[in-house]
Amino acid sequence: MRTDAMTRTCLAGFVALACAACTVGPEPHKPAVDVPQGWAASRDPAIASDLPSRVETGPVDPHRWWSVFRDPVLDGLIQTAMDQSLDVQTAGLRIGEARAQRDRAAGAYYPQVQANGTAARLRSGASGVGSLLGGSSGGASGSSSSESDGFSTNLFQAGFDATWEPDLFGRVRRSVQAAQAQVRAAEDRRRAAMVSLAAEIARAYMALRGAERQRAITRADIGSQEKLQVLIDSRNRSGLAPASEVATQRVQVSGARARLPQIEQAITTNRNRLALLLAMPPGSVDERLGERALPALPPEVPVGLPGDLLRRRPDIRQREAEVDAATARIGVATSALFPSIRFGAVGSFSSNKASTLFDWASRFGLIGAQLSVPIFQGGQLRAQVRVADLQAQEAVLSYRQTVLAAFHDVDNAMTTYAQDQRRTVDLDRQAGESRHGRDLALDRYTSGLGAYIDVLNAEHQTNQVELDLAQSAATASTDLVALFKALGGGWEED
C-alpha cells in the first residue's frame, strides 16, 4: 500500500511540474532592417532609356529564369545539373544531418528506458565477502561451501530502469527550436547552391556561345585576309603592287591565325566547365552542346521591389534562420540557471537460480526523484548566457549585412546590364559602318583608285569591332545571368 501511495504521489508530481513548466529566454523574431522603397539604379537615365532589354519593377517569378533565353540546350543542361550536381547532393545530405540533430534534441522530451540483465558467479574466501552474505557449510543448491574454499554462489538479475527530466524551464524546447532553425538554414544552403549552380552553368554557356561567335568571325577574317593575299600576289606579279604590300599582308594573315588558338582554348575550357558542373567527365557534353548562336535577350526583365529579396534570396533566409537558432540558444543557456528535477524508476528480478529468477518473491523496485539546484559555479553559467547573447547579436549583424549586400548586388547588376547593353548597341552600329567602309575601300583598291593601306586599315578596324561586338553581346547575356542570381532566382519550394 505504501508503494502504491508513493507511486500516485510521484505521478501527481509529474503532472504538476509539467503544468507549471515555463520557457525562459527570448522568442525568435525577424531582425528589423531598412528596406528601400525602390531601386536606386531605376533612376539612372541609361536604364530608363530605350534598350533592347528593359529592366522593370513589375512582379517577378525567377524560379526558372533561364527559360527567358528560349534555348532548349541551356534548359536541359540546368535541369541535368540540378539532378546530378555533387554540390547540390552534398547540401541535401547536410539537410538530413540537420534533421537528425533536431530529432535527437526532441528525444529529450521523453523518458529514457533501458533493459538490463546480469549473469555472474560470485566467489570469495572463508573470511571474505561470503561470510557477510551468510555463507556456511552446506549451502543451498547452486552454491557450494567449505572451510577451505570459502563461499561461492550464482547471481542472476533482469530488469529495467527509466529516467525522465521534465522540461521545467524550456531547455529542451529551446534546443529543438535551435535545431529546427538549423534545418531551415541547411535547406536554404541547398537552395543557395542551386542558385549558384544555375548561374554558373548559364555563365559558362554564354561565354561558350560568345567564344564560338568570335571563332566564326576570326575564321571569316582569316578567309578574307587570305583572299586579299591572293589578290595582292596577283597584282604584284602584274607589277601593280610592290613587294612591301605582299609582305605586310602576310603579316596580317599570320596575325589573324594567331588569334584562333586562344579562342579555341576558351571554347574547350567552357565546355569542360559545363561538364564539371554536370558532374560528368571532360568532353562528355560536347555532342550535346553542338554549336548554336548566342541566345537573344528578353525584351523585358521584371525585378520586383527590394523587399521581395527578404523571402526570395536563400542567403538572406539562411541568415534569418541562423538568427533564430542563436536566439533559441540564449534560452538553452538561461535554463541552466534554474533548478532541475529528474525522476527515476528501477524494477528488477534477482535470484541465485535461473529457474527462480522471475518468481514474484525475487522482485525488487525503486522509484524516486532527484532535485538539482545551481548555487555556485564561479560565474560559468551566467557567462554562458552572455556568450549566447553576444552570438545572437553577431547573427543579427550578419543578417543585416547580407540584406544590405543583396540590395547592392541587384542595384549594381541592373546598372551593369544597362550599360553593357548600351555598349553593345553602339558597337553594333559601329560594326555596320565599318563593314560598309571596308567594302568601299576594297572596291576602290580593286579598281586601282585606292591605296592598299586603306584596305588594310578598314579590314583591321572591321575585324576588331566585330570581335568586340561578339564579346560585348556575350557580356550583356552574362550580366543578365548575374542579375537573376542577385534576385535569388533558380530554386523552387520542395
Burial of 205 (0-12, 13-18, 19+ CB in 10 A): buried
Determine the pLDDT at residue 1: 43
> For the chain, what is the mean pLDDT?
84
> What confidence tens digit (pLDDT) does each residue in 356-394 have?
777 777 778 888 888 888 888 888 999 999 999 999 999
pLDDT of residue 5: 52
Quick check: pTM over 0.75? yes
Cα 89 to chain center, whole Å? 10
Tens-place pLDDT, residues 119-169: 888 776 655 555 444 544 444 444 444 445 566 788 888 888 888 889 889
Dist CA 125 CA 145 (whole Å)? 10
Element (H, E) at 417: helix 380-446
Q: Say if residue 22's pLDDT is above 90.
A: no
179-188, 322-331, 449-458: the lowest-pLDDT one: 449-458
Least confident of 2-11, 79-88, 194-203: 2-11
Q: Say which residues have a Cβ less than 8 Å from residue 14's Cβ, sequence separation at least 6.
A: 164, 166, 343
Question: Is the dihedral angle over the CA atoms 192, 195, 201, 203 positive or is it negative?
Answer: negative
Q: Which residue has the higher pLDDT, 44 or 78?
A: 78
Better-scored residue on pLDDT, 323 or 4: 323
Element containing residue 414 per DSSP (H, E): helix 380-446
